[in-house]
Amino acid sequence: MEISNEMIEAEIIAKIAQKTDVFFKHQQRNDPELNLDERKKIVEDLFRSDRFLFLSRYGQYLSSEQLNYHKNHEDEKVKTIAEHILRVKQSSSLSKSSIRNRRYQAMKQLLEDGDYFSPVEMQSRNPYLFEEMIGKYLDENERKDLEHSSYSKQYDRISFSSYLMEKNRQSQMKLIRLIESSKYHSSSESEDDENVNEDITKEEKELLKQEFLELMIQNFLNKGDKDFDYSQIDSNDNYDVDCLEFQRDQEDKYFDEEDSTKDDVEEQKVS
């Protein structure tokens, strides 16, 4: 079923009128808020009387389909501003997609390198979550293996400041374990570890490790690692190598629409 122009215009007017965070008219501080009917009348009056001003004010809130509807308008200024808003929206969408893809490519590289998403590094970034999901289920041998892989056992190969930071991190982890052990009223930390480990299977421990890794990956992708310099990724087009096909598709789509717009304009001029 083909949607009529009247239905499209009614949807546009209703969409803007329902918004409460946009400008409708100048009001004094003590004036009552406009109700829906009042907002709808203001929007419709502007839509009918000055389409260019309407798009200048509200075009950013319209969908691509609603903006495309105005590309066939008889007023050249209306067509031009509709096309401009469309390009801005498409560019913004492409930029966000590019950033998401760049972070994803960087994440895959970091996973392959193995350091950034190693247990020790993830523990240092989120010690409380690590202890809750992994640390409290480690036995003594596993805990020693984890500590052996940390900087405290390699201080002769790193700076003294890094060594002090690592010692401070381990002190914090010991404090967390003491707090956890007090919850179980255990007489010693080792006994607490043994009691906890009796309540979880090896398979469950592996599932928790995988879930913790996935949470840390998602946090990275969402720009949640506060000490990570995301500008090295977000503005680095070297990470676009695996996304070239995606970008070409977006560019082809954009230029196809540009060519179509130009053809429509030429046809209207001829007619």
Residue 263's pLDDT is 53
Q: With 90 as the cut, is the pLDDT of residue 141 above it?
A: no
Render pLDDT for 106-139 as a digit per residue (tens, 0 to 9). Answer: 999 999 988 899 988 898 888 888 888 888 888 8
Binned at pLDDT 50, 70 and 90, residue 144 comes out as: confident
Q: Per this entry, what is the length of the chain? A: 271
Render pLDDT for 13-44 as a digit per residue (tens, 0 to 9). Answer: 999 999 988 888 887 778 888 899 999 999 99
Binned at pLDDT 50, 70 and 90, residue 145 comes out as: confident
Domains in the chain: boundaries: 1-94, 119-217
Render pLDDT for 177-212 as a digit per residue (tens, 0 to 9). Answer: 555 555 544 444 455 554 444 467 888 888 888 998
CB 90 within 8 A of CB 232: no
Residue 158's pLDDT is 41
Of 167-171, 209-213, 235-239, the poorest mean pLDDT is in 167-171
Alpha carbon of residue 100 to chain centroid: 7
Residue 130 burial (CB count, 10 A): 21
Residue 185 burial (CB count, 10 A): 7
What CA–CA distances, in Å, run from 38 to 15, 32, 121?
Answer: 14, 11, 58
- DSSP letters for 182-221: HHTT-SSHHHHHHHHHTTS-HHHHHHHHHHHHHHHHHHHH
Residue 174's pLDDT is 57
Residue 83's pLDDT is 92
Specify burial of residue 251 (Cβ count, 10 A radius: 0-12, 13-18, 19+): exposed
Place of tokens 């969402």: 222
How high does pLDDT run on average in the chain? 76
**How much is the pTM?**
0.47
Q: With 80 as the cut, is the pLDDT of residue 173 above it?
A: no
